[in-house]
Amino acid sequence: MNIAPYIDHTILKPTTLISDIERICNEAKEYGFAAVCVPPLFIKQAKGLTKDSNVKTATVIGFPFGYSAVEAKIAEIILAMVDGVDELDVVINISAIKNNDWQFLANEINNIIPIIKNKNKTIKVIIESGILTNDEIIKCCDIYGAAGVDFMKTSTGYAEKGATLEAVALMRKHLPDSIQIKASGGIKTYNFAKELIDAGATRLGCSSSIAIVTQSAESNGGY
């Protein structure tokens, strides 16, 4: 299979350079990745570098821990949209999950969703599945499924455990069909990437994207 259209080509390290952004944008155009996912500082540059292509520009909100105030996340979202972002990967408040404060989480997403949808942007909520119990993941599916997000995303890549087949399958089982799944965190091989897609993921957040598509080509005898 041609795996490139599933991939968000990602660089989110705090030491990211503009030369890194130029590189991943050029690679995204060359290989036909779905999007580049960049720190908020670089949205304008990424948007400009990919303007003559189908590559979307994505960024992260409340990253990587998710415990910033709802108002702060909203400010980040508005500024990102002013800069031209297409897709927003929003870290939800993990501390609220761990304290069973589901009302807080419902209030958070219900304040965020209208702002993003009003501008016809895409929202992916990051739940950090690697540090959640199955029951917590299912409750997240209930809340964010009801809220009508576009994607539920497994991980930031900063927790000790990233995407797993089990988490993706569990999310797919408990989410409405209309809500997609983005797997991210620790995806370094084509075989694992394909397994995640087979389990229900329709987008993959990867920093090893070139290696993955190269392995894909080798496995399939070309693109």
Residues identified as active-site = 89, 153, 182
In Å, what is the CA distance from 132 to each residue of 21, 112, 189?
Answer: 32, 22, 24
How far is the C-alpha of 83 from the C-alpha of 91, rounded, in Å? 20
Closest to 61 in 3D by CA, of 47, 45, 81: 81
